[in-house]
């Protein structure tokens, strides 16, 4: 084990040439990031999760009820052992041949069986109330952490001149505000990693899981080798659009369509501007070129930039989805669909469909940045 740890913490990988871990030990004059600080994220992530449960129950839910968002779910399908077995073990969307066979076996007409399968699918969908509460929590936290990040960064020299991220690197002292900001962001992403398995499951679950994983690794990695200054720029930039996304979702769930459309347009503009414009031209420029000039490359420098490029790849993917939604909105006159997340259609609407037609569905999205990194949920949606 000692050999493995010595290999993992090899100074030639983590630190620039002629720098050792002993040089970055805390002293009375200066405090530097220490790897063991990252353990603080786990109890804090648990606290964030508990705060979320309290917030959703005692703050978000009353707000949803005040906006007339109903807590009741879709109509429950009539219990039927044969259809339930087909639904759980064979298919949730039987073809015409299977429908005719079930019709003869149960002495039901085909339309009734189709309605049963639609109702049974809807039973597994989350209620609008639950989705509103989830979005309100994400909105509140995103707004808080972004506001904190802006207030912190506007007092730092590296916000105005990114070359300060590399001057005297890695001997840059860790301030209390920077430490709090970093550990808070890391804790939030850890809480998302665990809650993602209990939250509303959407179609981009795998991509969001990758996003959270990369974000956690990137935050931890940049903290250990003291790239925290440029890390704060990355975090704040990727938090900038999240609150607008969640606000658009809440407006959609509350059926404030015009407000939803406006917030979605604002979100799309901020997202694309920050992720495809400012991030590559400002952040990637300093991590790839300014750092090369001032510090020079070393092994962990390559890994750090590779992770940032992976994040940029995810940004491009989500921007593509946003533009796709915007094109649909222009053609239809409002933001109504996207390609991410769960199907949202009421059983009453579906029951009114003629036989043989598939029910109208509205897909939604929920990252990440967040992505990082949360995409879109509700009629209007997109997240990092």
pLDDT for res 72:
65
Asked whether the predicted pLDDT for residue 297 surpasses 50, the reply is yes
N-to-C CA span, the chain: 37
Closest CA to 384 of 224, 288, 242: 242
- Rounded to whole angstroms, the Cα distance separating 320 from 275 reads 12
Query: Alpha carbon of 143 to those of 107, 116, 241, 260: distances in Å?
Result: 56, 42, 9, 17
343: pLDDT strictly greater than 70: no
Tell me the angle at which helices 205-224 and 176-195 cross, rounded to the nearest 10 degrees. 150
CA–CA separation, 321 vs 203, rounded Å?
13
pLDDT at position 87 is 85
Helix (H/G/I), strand (E/B), else coil: 362:
strand
Q: What is the pLDDT of residue 366?
A: 37
Q: Given a cut of 80, is residue 358 above it in pLDDT?
A: no
The CATH number of the domain covering residues in 79-122: 1.10.10.60
User: Which of 51-65, 97-111, 370-384 is predicted most confidently?
Assistant: 51-65
Residue bearing the bigger pLDDT, 343 or 197: 197
- Cβ–Cβ < 8 Å for 207, 195: no
Answer positive or negative: Cα dihedral of 5, 8, 9, 10.
Answer: positive
Tens of pLDDT, residue by residue over 23-57, are 999 998 899 999 999 999 999 999 999 999 999 99
Of the listed ranges 79-88, 241-250, 263-272, 366-375, the one predicted with least confidence: 366-375
Q: Over the Cα atoms of the chain, what is R_g? A: 24
Q: How confident is the model at residue 163 (pLDDT cuts 50, 70, 90)?
A: very high
Bridge partners of 343, per DSSP, are 363
Max Cα–Cα distance, the chain, nearest Å: 84
**Residue 363, token pair as written in the block:** 């897909």
In terms of Cα–Cα distance, which of 229, 221, 210 is closest to 310?
Answer: 210
Q: Report pLDDT for 194.
A: 85
Domain ranges of the chain: 79-122, 126-330
Mean pLDDT for 224-238 is: 96
Residue from 311, 304, 272 nearest 288 by CA: 304
Q: Name the pTM for this structure.
A: 0.79
Task: Report DSSP state, residue 221.
Answer: H
What pLDDT score does 211 carry? 84
Model confidence at 125: pLDDT above 80: no
Q: Among 131-140, 232-241, 255-264, 327-336, which is the least confidently predicted range?
A: 327-336
Give the confidence band of 123 by pLDDT, cuts at 50, 70, 90: confident
Q: In this prediction, what percent of the chain has a pLDDT beyond 90? A: 57
**Antiparallel, parallel or unpaired: β 343-344 and 362-363:** antiparallel
pLDDT at 384 over 60: no
Q: Residues near 69 by Cβ (< 8 Å), separated by ≥ 6?
A: 128, 129, 132, 253, 254
The CB density around residue 272, as the number of other CB atoms within 10 Å, is 17
Helix, strand, coil shares, percent, the chain, to 5: 65, 0, 30
Higher pLDDT, 164 or 374: 164
Distance, CA of 131 to CA of 173 (rounded, Å): 42
CB 99 within 8 A of CB 113: yes
| Pick from 11-20, 125-134, 330-339: least confident | 330-339
CB 185 within 8 A of CB 219: yes
The candidate with the shortest Cα–Cα distance to 138, out of 235, 18, 259, 51, is 51
Query: Higher model confidence: residue 288 or residue 120?
Result: 288
**Helix axes 81-89 and 96-106, enclosed angle (nearest 10):** 160
Confidence of residue 73 (pLDDT cuts 50, 70, 90): low
Helix (H) and strand (E) counts for the chain?
18, 2
pLDDT in tens, 5-17: 889 999 999 999 9
Q: Is the pLDDT of residue 145 over 60?
A: yes
Tell me: pLDDT of 370 over 70: no
DSSP string, 246-270: HHHHHHHHTT-HHHHHHHHHHHHHH
- Dihedral angle sign, alpha carbons of residues 322, 324, 328, 330: positive
| Range from 189-193, 206-210, 292-296, 353-357 carrying the lowest mean pLDDT | 353-357
Contact 88, 76 (CB under 8 A): no
- d(CA 302, CA 308) in angstroms, rounded, equals 10
Q: pLDDT class for 365, splitting at 50, 70, 90?
A: very low
Tell me what the pLDDT averaged over the chain comes to: 84
């Amino acid at each position: 084990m000692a050999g493995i740890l010595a290999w993992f913490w090899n100074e030639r990988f983590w630190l620039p040439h002629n720098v050792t871990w002993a040089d970055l030990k805390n002293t009375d004059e200066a405090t530097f990031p220490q790897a063991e600080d990252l353990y603080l994220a786990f109890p804090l992530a648990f606290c964030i999760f508990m705060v979320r449960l309290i917030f959703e129950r005692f703050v978000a839910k009353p707000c949803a009820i005040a906006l007339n968002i109903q807590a009741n779910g879709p109509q429950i399908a009539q219990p039927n052992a044969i259809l339930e077995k087909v639904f759980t073990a064979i298919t949730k969307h039987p073809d015409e041949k299977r429908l005719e066979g079930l019709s003869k076996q149960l002495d039901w007409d085909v339309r009734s069986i189709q309605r049963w399968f639609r109702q049974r699918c809807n039973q597994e969908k989350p209620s609008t109330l639950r989705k509103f509460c989830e979005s309100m929590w994400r909105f509140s936290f995103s707004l808080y952490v972004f506001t904190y990040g802006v207030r912190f960064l506007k007092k730092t020299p590296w916000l105005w001149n990114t070359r300060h991220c590399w001057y005297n690197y890695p001997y840059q002292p860790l301030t209390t505000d920077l430490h709090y900001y970093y550990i808070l962001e890391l804790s939030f992403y850890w809480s998302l990693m665990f809650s993602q398995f209990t939250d509303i499951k959407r179609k981009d679950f795998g991509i969001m899981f990758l996003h959270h994983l990369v974000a956690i690794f990137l935050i931890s990695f940049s903290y250990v080798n003291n790239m925290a200054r440029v890390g704060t720029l990355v975090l704040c930039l990727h938090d900038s659009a999240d609150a607008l996304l969640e606000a658009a979702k809440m407006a959609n769930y509350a059926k404030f369509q015009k407000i939803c459309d406006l917030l979605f347009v604002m979100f799309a503009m901020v997202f694309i501007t920050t992720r495809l414009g400012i991030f590559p031209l400002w952040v990637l420029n300093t991590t790839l070129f300014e750092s090369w000039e001032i510090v020079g490359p070393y092994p962990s420098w390559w890994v750090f930039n590779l992770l940032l490029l992976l994040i940029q790849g995810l940004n491009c993917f989500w921007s593509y989805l946003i533009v796709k939604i915007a094109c649909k909105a222009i053609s239809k006159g409002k933001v109504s669909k996207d390609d991410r997340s769960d199907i949202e259609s009421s059983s009453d609407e579906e029951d009114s469909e003629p036989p043989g037609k598939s029910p109208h569905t509205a897909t939604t999205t929920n990252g990440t940045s967040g992505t990082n990194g949360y995409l879109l949920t509700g009629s209007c949606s997109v997240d990092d």
